[in-house]
Amino acid sequence: MSSVSIAAAERVGIDLGERSYPIVIGPGLLADPASYADLPASATALVVTNTTVAPLYAQAVCGALGERFRSVRVLELPDGEAHKNWETLNLIFDALLGHGADRKTVLFALGGGVVGDVTGFAAACYMRGVPFVQLPTTLLAQVDSSVGGKTAINHPLGKNMVGAFYQPRLVLCDLDTLQTLPQREIAAGLAEIIKYGPIADMAFLDWIEANIDALVARDASALAHAVRRSCEIKAAVVGQDERESGLRAILNFGHTFGHAIESGLGYGEWLHGEAVGCGMVMAAHLSEKLGGVDIAFVRRLTALIERAGLPVRAPDLGAERYLSLMRLDKKSEAGEIRFVVIDTPGSAVMRPAPDALVRQVLAECCA
Ligand code: NAD
Ligand code: GLY
């Protein structure tokens, strides 16, 4: 059996002591048995995926896992953010218990961020924790959600409100899977890639600007670089602050506004990445009002987000509704909303902002 794919792949390490793991990035990884060679020994595997991804990739994954596991089963969840909930989580527990899964059973999350977050949470809970592997198949999942161990489901009152920090044993970013993504999902992933520039690496922002057309067109080498650099930045941040006691919050740039858009419109109306893209425009405006960046920077970031194919005008939910939704954000303390803002290009901080300034931002950014 050939293992050219894994040998040629790039690796980014995430350093978390005994919970460290590799993020492997390259083409042809899912179907290569060598990709899974270092996983803990176990007889059984459950591949959790969804009705869209299963017909595309489940057979290839099961073929490769069949060389290592005696029993490999597939569970297809319903597709979509609207299904990131208790009912879907329970389907995983039903399957695990129904198949007699034990403490060594390995869960494989094959899909985008929704499958990854729900499967990771199931792995954290089942028998108080079983090993799991992230097999992200969206750009957003490869550059963000599969890395760092945040797992969750949504609550009708707030996004990702019920979950756990629980690290995977391995992340395999098979770049070939990006070729079957709808274009809207490519744009959604680009939002999280762009995010890393203003918060951590202005040279990367310059590179994204120079290569945005290639990224939108799915140029393989541009995507490979963007995935690797994004994973490096995320791994470095998570390595310093796994449980978000401080620094990790910068990865939420644009998310306070973005989560309000997602839950305010109803989950699934706007894609998560679309809401984050627009949320970054709003957070950039707030950063400007707080003195961290100038208006030229806000315009530059807005133009890039628009070129990625993302919305830059926010839905008009009304200022009161935005404020009440944002008070539910996980970063809020005692009802005070805390925003991630740029304090200088390439660096972000978390801080509260006067309601009056937030209202100005909403007035400027809402359609
Ligand atoms: P998603 O999981 O809904 O996937 C997007 C769509 O693409 C779905 O319809 C999916 O079935 C389909 N799909 C997946 N792979 C495909 C492929 N290769 N070809 C064709 N179709 C494919 O959305 P997403 O953008 O991947 O993830 C968004 C979720 O991730 C949100 O719930 C968000 O909260 C979460 N998230 C979590 C973290 C974290 O740190 N845990 C970070 C960012 C986002
Ligand atoms: N996506 C934000 C985080 O992982 O912390």
Domains defined along the chain, listed by start: 4-180 (3.40.50.1970), 183-365 (1.20.1090.10)
Contacts of range 95-101, beta carbons closer than 8 Å, 24 or more positions apart = 95/46, 95/48, 96/46, 96/122, 96/126, 99/44, 99/46, 99/71, 99/73, 101/44, 101/46, 101/126, 101/130
Q: Of ligand 2's atoms, which has the minimum distance to the CA of residue 248?
A: 5
pLDDT digits (tens, 9 = 90+) for 71-125: 999 999 999 999 999 999 999 999 999 999 999 999 999 999 999 999 999 999 9
Identify which of 166, 228, 186 has the alpha carbon closest to the alpha carbon of residue 12. Answer: 228
- Establish whether residue 113 lines the binding site of ligand 1, counting it when its CB lies within 6 angstroms of any ligand atom: yes
Identify which of 59, 60, 92 has the alpha carbon closest to the alpha carbon of residue 76. Answer: 92
Q: Of ligand 1's atoms, which has the minimum distance to the CA of residue 148?
A: 40
- Establish whether residue 120 lines the binding site of ligand 1, counting it when its CB lies within 6 angstroms of any ligand atom: no
Among 20-24, 149-153, 154-158, 323-327, which is the least confidently predicted range? 154-158
The number of the ligand nearest the C-alpha atom of 273 reads: 1
Pick the residue whose CA is nearest to atom 2 on ligand 2: 251
The band of 2, judged by pLDDT with boundaries at 50, 70 and 90, is low
Ligand 1 probe mutation, 88, 150, 162, 185, most atoms within 8 A of CB: 185
Q: φ, ψ for residue 83 (rounded to 5)?
A: -100, 10
pLDDT digits (tens, 9 = 90+) for 251-307: 999 999 999 999 899 988 999 999 999 999 999 999 999 999 999 999 999 999 999
Mean of the per-residue pLDDT values of the chain: 96
pLDDT for residue 355 is more than 80: yes
Give 217 Cα–ligand 1 centroid separation in angstroms: 19
Task: For the sheet with 21-26, list strands across it.
Answer: 10-14, 21-26, 170-174, 132-136, 106-111, 44-50, 71-77
Question: Residues 132, 139: contact at Cβ < 8 Å?
Answer: no
**Mean local confidence (pLDDT), 60-70:** 95
Q: Catalytic amino acids? A: 128, 150, 192, 234, 244, 248, 252, 255, 259, 272
Q: Residue written as tokens 């009304």?
A: 318
Residue type, 356: A
Going through the chain in order, the beta strands assigned E by DSSP cover 10-14, 21-26, 44-50, 71-77, 106-111, 132-136, 150-155, 158-165, 170-174, 338-344, 347-352
Question: Residues 359, 345: contact at Cβ < 8 Å?
Answer: no
